[in-house]
Amino acid sequence: MQRTTAPNERDRLRIAIQKSGRLSEPALALLAAAGLSWQESRDKQFYYGESLPIDLLLVRDDDIPGLIADGVCDLGMVGRNVLIEQQYERESRGQPRPFRELRGLGFGRCRLMFGIPEAWDWQPEVQLPGKRIATSYPALLGRWLQQRGIDATVVLMSGSVELAPRLGQADLVCDLVSSGGTLSANQLKPVEVVLDSEAVLAGPTESFADVRAGIAELLLRRLDGVMKIRDSKLLMLQAPRAVLPHLMQLLPDAEPPTVTPLDGQPGGDVAVQALCHGAMTWQRLEDLKRAGARGLMVLPVERMLA
Ligand code: ATP
Ligand code: ZN
C-alpha cells in the first residue's frame, strides 16, 4: 500500500547501511544489539523494522551521504572517510553542508594515509611538489595539500590505489590503511595520517520536525548504551576495607563502586562491585590480587540504561 505523505514527512525512521562490504555486518549487529529486529525484503534491499518504527535501506556506502542530503534516508552508517570526502566535495561546489556526523560507532576503523616507496624519506614540503599521488579521496587529499601550499597532481583511482606506483600511474598513494599489509605488499610504507576514520552515524544538519525526532532520540540513546557496555565489565571482589583506596587506584576506568560489609567477617572485610570500562586483563586481576583483593570475578554486562 502506498502512503501519501510528503517526501520529507514520515512516521518511520529510515536508515541507510552498506549492502555488502566491511561495514554491513557490524552495522546490522549494532542495530540488533540496540533492540531492532526486521523482516528482509526478497531482494534484500529493504529491511522492514518490526520491533521499532525503523526501516533499513541497503545500498553502496558511497550513496549514503547523498541519500541523507536528498532526504531519502534519515540517518546512515558510513565511513567518516566517505562522509567527509563528500562534504568537502560539496563545499568545493559551493553547496551547503547537508549532513553531519552524529556519533562515532567504533567499528570499521582505518586511516587515510600517505604510502610512499620504501626507499624515500618523508619530507612532504620537499618531496611532494610536482609528484603524482593516486587516491580515491581527491577532496580530502586536495584540502590537505592546499592547507600546506603544496602543488602536486592528484590521480583519481576508484580501486586498487596501491598498485598505481608499480604500474607507473603515480609516484605515491594516499589510501585507506588498516593493518598496512596491502601497502607493504606493494613496496610502499605508510608515513602520515590524513584522516582517522571509523564508521559513523550520519544525519541531516537540521533536526527532524516530526515523530522521527523521537525515534532518532530513542535509537541514539540505545546506541550509546550499547557502545558504552561494549568494553564494560562488572568486577566483583572481596578485600579488607583498608586496601580499598589502593584497589581503586588500580581501577581508574571504574565507576564509583558499591561497597558492602561482609556478614560475620571480623576485621572489616568488604565486598566490592564496580563497573569498569577498560579491558579487564589477567594482568590487571593479578595486580588487584597482589594489592589484597580476593575472590575476583569479572562478569559481562548485557544491557545498561544510564
Ligand atoms: P561498496 O560496494 O559499498 O561501495 P566499498 O568497496 O566502497 O563498498 P568497503 O571496502 O567495504 O567498501 O569499505 C567500506 C568502508 O570500510 C570504508 O569506506 C572504510 O570506512 C572502512 N574500512 C575499514 N578498513 C578498511 C580498509 N583496510 N580498506 C578500506 N576500507 C576500510
Ligand atoms: Zn564504496
Neighbours of ion ligand 2 (CB under 5 A): 61-62
232 or 3, greater pLDDT: 232
Do 110-197 and 13-108+199-228 fall under one CATH topology? yes
What is the Cα Rg of the chain in Å? 25
Q: Whose alpha carbon is nearest atom 24 of ligand 1?
A: 110
Interval 72-83: pLDDT, tens: 999 999 999 999
Q: Is the CB of 24 under 6 A from ligand 1?
A: no
Contact 156, 141 (CB under 8 A): no
Pick the CATH number of 13-108+199-228 from 3.40.50.300, 3.40.190.10, 3.30.300.30, 3.40.109.10: 3.40.190.10
Average pLDDT score, the chain:
93
What is the pLDDT confidence band of residue 3, given thresholds at 50, 70 and 90?
very low
Mean pLDDT (whole number) for 232-258:
95
Nearest ligand by distance to the CA of 137: 1
The residue contributing the CA closest to ligand 1 atom 22 is 108
What's the 22 CA to ligand 1 centre distance in angstroms?
6
Q: What does the pLDDT average to over 56-72?
A: 97
Locate 67 and state its grid cell.
541519500
Question: Whose alpha carbon is nearest atom 6 of ligand 1?
Answer: 21
Residue 238 CA to ligand 1 center (angstroms) comes to: 46
Q: What is the pLDDT of residue 1?
A: 46
Distance CA 292, CA 255 (A): 20
Which atom number of ligand 1 is nearest to the Cα of residue 18? Answer: 3
CB distance 18 to ligand 1 below 6 Å? yes
Confidence of residue 9 (pLDDT cuts 50, 70, 90): low
107 CB contacts (<8 Å, ≥6 apart)? 23, 26, 27, 30, 198, 199
> Would the CB of 23 count as within 6 Å of ligand 1?
yes
CA–centroid distance, 10 to ligand 1, in Å, is: 30
Domain spans, the chain: 13-108+199-228, 110-197, 233-300
81 touches ligand 1 (CB under 6 Å):
yes
**Candidate CATH numbers 3.30.70.120, 3.40.1160.10, 3.40.50.1370, 3.40.50.300; the one for domain 233-300:** 3.30.70.120
Contact call for residues 124 and 215 (beta carbons, < 8 A): no
Mutate to test the pocket of ligand 1, among 61, 83, 105, 135 (most ligand atoms within 8 A of CB): 61
Assess whether the C-beta atom of 86 lies below 6 angstroms from ligand 1: no
In short, whether 59's Cβ falls inside 6 Å of ligand 1 is no
Whether residue 60 has its Cβ less than 6 Å from ligand 1: yes
Query: What per-residue string of b and e applies to 241-263 under the rule 16 or more CB within 10 Å gives b?
Result: eeebeebeeebeebeebeeeeee
For range 257-267, the mean pLDDT: 85
285 sits in which H/E element: helix 282-290
- Angle of helix 80-92 relative to helix 138-147, nearest 10 degrees, comes to 70
Whether the predicted pLDDT of 112 surpasses 70: yes
Indicate the CATH number for domain 110-197: 3.40.190.10
The CA 158 to ligand 2 mean position distance, Å, reads 9
Average pLDDT over residues 121-127: 93
Residue 176 near ligand 1, beta carbon < 6 Å: yes
Q: What is the mean pLDDT of residues 157-167?
A: 95
Q: Residue 254 carries which DSSP code?
A: B
Crossing angle of the two packed helices 212-230 and 24-33, in degrees rounded to 10:
100
pLDDT tens digits, 141-159: 999 999 999 999 999 999 9
